[in-house]
């Protein structure tokens, strides 16, 4: 399949399939289908706009293919998010005089059926980068063309298309810094596209399932914490971006590492589902860097900063860079979602202590910083990134449990679960990936807590049972004197667990296992 290398605006695949002539209905031009995937937004949506610009009626559709079709089917938390997000998108489309058609079933059959029903002349979608979905889509395209429908696809979810970027040796980059520098030297993303003003409705709408019929919401009602923490949808995504830029960007460099503060953007789930595009974020950042608001409300160019590109070095943009890097790596190393990039790690002596895995998942390891993170994850579907690194290091290095167990758990529980980023994160933490943390970089859950949650606010929020411990002991209850524990109404092993492993000896064991791996060559 030929991908559209395009950041300058709308262009279409060069290799067009010869158009099949169809008898044209005289009354109304044939409709265009806008197939929504992980791009659940109206603004800056190339596929949607291409469907609108065909000047006929537009049929927006979402296809739920529950078996995942060889990819990773969304986990429980992602399904919850998807449900809410589809509801939001549907409402937004209605406000434009349109609808969202919901279908379920194998993607090709479902789309072919819809094309036949509606006599659609064109179907547009934004590409997804996950390797197995790409393979699948590559077959989808000619099959749909063969049924007489034109196909247009776009790259809308990344700033930089992975396919042709290589280092000087002609190989894919494996280190972040040169990769991102290479991108920054070339990136000049065009202005985000506006949301279409209106979508022309077809003469008659095809049938749609009701949202509830997709059965995305959990049967058992465990989603209360998610509901309290999140409002999915494009509108909220833009609101969060704006408030982040106004209130947090200035202090991001320092506060992004502090789970006790609200220092991060929390845009990750919105980005994953495409409720906001990286291009929109890029431009919002650029705008903010070039302009300052005067007190009288006038906006003028800040000559000291206008035209300067120092904002491109900003920490926040670098995080978007890591997102690009994750997708880039998964594109070039498509097996890394399950196998270590550094092959020698497949011989690492992992062990699988089921009780330990369970303790980790439940937030019962006896290390408060780890447990707080795991409970935040379980309750809200999200975990602060600093804490993700710490809990991952703990699972992989203190417990020596395979990193793939971690990816699975995160996949099921995170509302921002994203194959590329989950893969990068875990391979990074396990030391077996590209530009990964060296294996011997083993986080100490106590000192990490003391450093990044100095007053214990974060830990107390998620572990009320140890909330009465003084700061000195909040990150290491096991070391507190008996009378301090009694004072705080804590009985170790009953109200809060003893550490399931001793960090210092677990560290020694991990280093020895790693040394053995290296000796084996």
Partner DNA sequence: TGAAATGTTGGGGCG
Partner DNA sequence: ACGCCCCAACATTTC
Site stretch for DNA (CB under 7 A), options 122-130, 146-154, 439-447, 492-500: 439-447
Q: Which two tokens stand for residue 120?
A: 């659609």
Is residue 385 part of the annotated active site? The answer reads yes
Q: Is 476 in the site for DNA (CB under 7 A)?
A: no
Q: Is 506 in the site for DNA (CB under 7 A)?
A: no
- Shortest distance in whole angstroms from residue 220 CB to DNA: 35
Which residues, in sequence order, are bridge partners of residue 292? 300
Q: Is 515 in the site for DNA (CB under 7 A)?
A: yes
- Shortest distance in whole angstroms from residue 394 CB to DNA: 11
From the candidates 403, 411, 428, 462, give the one annotated as an active-site residue: 403
Is residue 180 part of the annotated active site? The answer reads no
From the candidates 69, 217, 255, 385, give the one annotated as an active-site residue: 385
Q: What is the 3-state secondary structure (H, E, C) of 128-153?
A: CCCHHHHHHHHHHHHHHHHCCCEEEE
Q: Is 437 in the site for DNA (CB under 7 A)?
A: yes
**How far is residue 274 CA from its own chain's centroid?**
9
CB proximity list for 376: less than 8 A, separation 6 or greater: 259, 382, 383, 384, 387, 461, 462
Are 321 and 421 spatial neighbours (Cβ–Cβ below 8 Å)? no
Return the residues of window 400-429 that contact DNA according to CB under 7 A.
428
Q: Is 441 in the site for DNA (CB under 7 A)?
A: yes
Q: Which is nearer to DNA, 468 or 507 (CB)?
A: 507
Q: Is 442 in the site for DNA (CB under 7 A)?
A: yes
Q: Is 503 in the site for DNA (CB under 7 A)?
A: yes
Q: Which is nearer to DNA, 233 or 425 (CB)?
A: 425
Q: Is 389 in the site for DNA (CB under 7 A)?
A: yes
Contact pick of 370, 448, 459, 490 for DNA (by CB under 7 A): 448
CB proximity list for 29: less than 8 A, separation 6 or greater: 54, 55, 56, 57, 121
Are 59 and 31 spatial neighbours (Cβ–Cβ below 8 Å)? yes
Q: Which two tokens stand for residue 108?
A: 């090709």
Q: Is 507 in the site for DNA (CB under 7 A)?
A: yes
Q: Which is nearer to DNA, 30 or 475 (CB)?
A: 475
- Shortest distance in whole angstroms from residue 226 CB to DNA: 25
Is residue 462 part of the annotated active site? The answer reads no
Length of the chain: 521
Is residue 319 part of the annotated active site? The answer reads yes
Contact pick of 322, 378, 394, 410 for DNA (by CB under 7 A): 322
Q: How many residues bind DNA (CB under 7 A)?
A: 24
Token pair 């993303």 in the structure block, residue: 189
- Shortest distance in whole angstroms from residue 425 CB to DNA: 9
CA-to-CA distance for 340 and 338, rounded, in angstroms? 7
Q: Which is nearer to DNA, 273 or 322 (CB)?
A: 322
- Shortest distance in whole angstroms from residue 168 CB to DNA: 22
Site string for DNA, 253-282 (x = CB under 7 A): ----x-------------------------
CA-to-CA distance for 349 and 513, rounded, in angstroms? 7
CA-to-CA distance for 516 and 510, rounded, in angstroms? 10
Site stretch for DNA (CB under 7 A), options 10-18, 96-104, 402-410, 503-511: 503-511
Contact pick of 403, 443, 462, 473 for DNA (by CB under 7 A): 443
3-state secondary structure of 227: helix
- Shortest distance in whole angstroms from residue 444 CB to DNA: 4
From the candidates 426, 428, 462, 473, give the one annotated as an active-site residue: 426
CA distances from 137 to 97, 143, 290 (A): 30, 10, 40
Site stretch for DNA (CB under 7 A), options 74-82, 112-120, 336-344, 447-455: 447-455
Q: Is 399 in the site for DNA (CB under 7 A)?
A: no
Backbone angles phi, psi at 508, to 5 degrees: -60, -45
Return the residues of window 138-177 that contact DNA according to CB under 7 A.
176
Q: Which helix (H) or strand (E) holds 240?
A: helix 234-247
Contact pick of 344, 440, 486, 493 for DNA (by CB under 7 A): 440
3-state secondary structure of 33: strand
CA distances from 230 to 77, 150, 178, 233, 379 (A): 12, 38, 35, 10, 11
Are 46 and 156 spatial neighbours (Cβ–Cβ below 8 Å)? yes
- Extract the runs of DSSP E, i.e. beta strands, from 254-331: 291-293, 299-301
CA-to-CA distance for 243 and 264, rounded, in angstroms? 11
Are 233 and 89 spatial neighbours (Cβ–Cβ below 8 Å)? yes
Q: Which is nearer to DNA, 17 or 478 (CB)?
A: 478
Task: Just list the catalytic residues.
Answer: 319, 322, 350, 385, 403, 426
Query: Residue numbers of the site for DNA (CB under 7 A)?
Result: 176, 257, 319, 322, 385-386, 389, 428, 437-438, 440-444, 447-448, 451, 503-504, 507, 511, 514-515
């Amino acid at each position: 399949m030929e991908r559209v290398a395009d950041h300058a605006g709308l262009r279409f695949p060069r290799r067009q399939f010869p158009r099949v002539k169809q008898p044209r209905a005289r009354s109304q031009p044939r409709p265009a289908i806008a197939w929504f995937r992980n791009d659940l937004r109206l603004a800056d949506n190339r596929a949607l706009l291409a469907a609108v610009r065909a000047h006929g009626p537009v049929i927006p559709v979402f296809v739920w293919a529950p078996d995942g079709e060889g990819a990773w089917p969304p986990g429980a938390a992602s399904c919850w998010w998807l449900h809410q997000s589809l509801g939001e998108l549907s409402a937004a489309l209605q406000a434009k005089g349109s609808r969202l058609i919901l279908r379920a079933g194998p993607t090709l059959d479902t789309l072919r059926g819809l094309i036949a029903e509606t006599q659609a002349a064109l179907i547009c979608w934004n590409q997804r980068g996950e390797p197995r979905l790409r393979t699948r889509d590559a077959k989808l395209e000619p099959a749909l063309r063969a049924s007489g429908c034109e196909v247009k696809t776009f790259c809308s979810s990344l700033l930089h298309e992975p396919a042709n970027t290589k280092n000087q040796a002609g190989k894919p980059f494996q280190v972040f810094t040169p990769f991102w520098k290479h991108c920054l030297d070339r990136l000049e993303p065009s202005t985000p596209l506006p949301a279409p003003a209106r979508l022309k409705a077809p003469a008659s709408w095809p049938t749609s399932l009701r949202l509830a019929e997709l059965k995305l919401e959990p049967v058992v009602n465990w989603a209360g914490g998610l509901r309290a923490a999140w409002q999915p949808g494009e509108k909220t995504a833009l609101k969060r971006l704006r408030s982040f830029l106004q209130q947090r960007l200035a202090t991001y460099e320092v506060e992004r590492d502090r789970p006790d503060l609200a220092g991060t953007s929390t845009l990750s789930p919105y980005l994953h589902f495409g409720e906001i595009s990286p291009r929109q974020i890029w431009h919002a950042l650029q705008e903010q860097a070039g302009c300052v608001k005067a007190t009288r409300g006038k906006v003028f160019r800040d000559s000291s900063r206008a035209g300067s590109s120092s904002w491109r070095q900003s920490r926040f943009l670098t995080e978007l860079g890591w997102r690009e890097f994750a997708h880039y790596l998964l594109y070039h190393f498509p097996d890394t979602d399950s196998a270590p990039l550094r092959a020698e790690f497949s011989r690492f002596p992992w062990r699988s202590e089921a009780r330990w895995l369970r303790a980790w998942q439940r937030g019962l390891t006896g290390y408060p910083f780890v447990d707080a993170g795991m409970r935040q994850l379980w309750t809200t579907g999200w975990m602060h990134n600093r804490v993700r690194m710490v809990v991952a290091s703990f699972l992989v290095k203190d417990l020596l449990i395979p990193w793939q167990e971690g990816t699975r758990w995160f996949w099921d529980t995170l509302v921002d679960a994203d194959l590329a980023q989950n893969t990068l994160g875990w391979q990074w933490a396990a030391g077996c990936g590209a530009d990964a943390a060296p294996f011997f970089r083993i986080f100490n859950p106590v000192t990490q807590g003391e450093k990044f949650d100095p007053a214990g606010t974060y830990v107390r929020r998620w572990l009320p049972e140890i909330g009465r411990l003084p700061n000195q002991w909040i990150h290491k209850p096991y070391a507190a004197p008996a009378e301090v524990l009694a004072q705080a109404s804590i009985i170790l092993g009953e109200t809060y667990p003893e550490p399931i492993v001793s960090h210092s000896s677990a560290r020694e064991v991990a280093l020895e296992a790693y040394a053995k791996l290296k000796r084996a060559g």
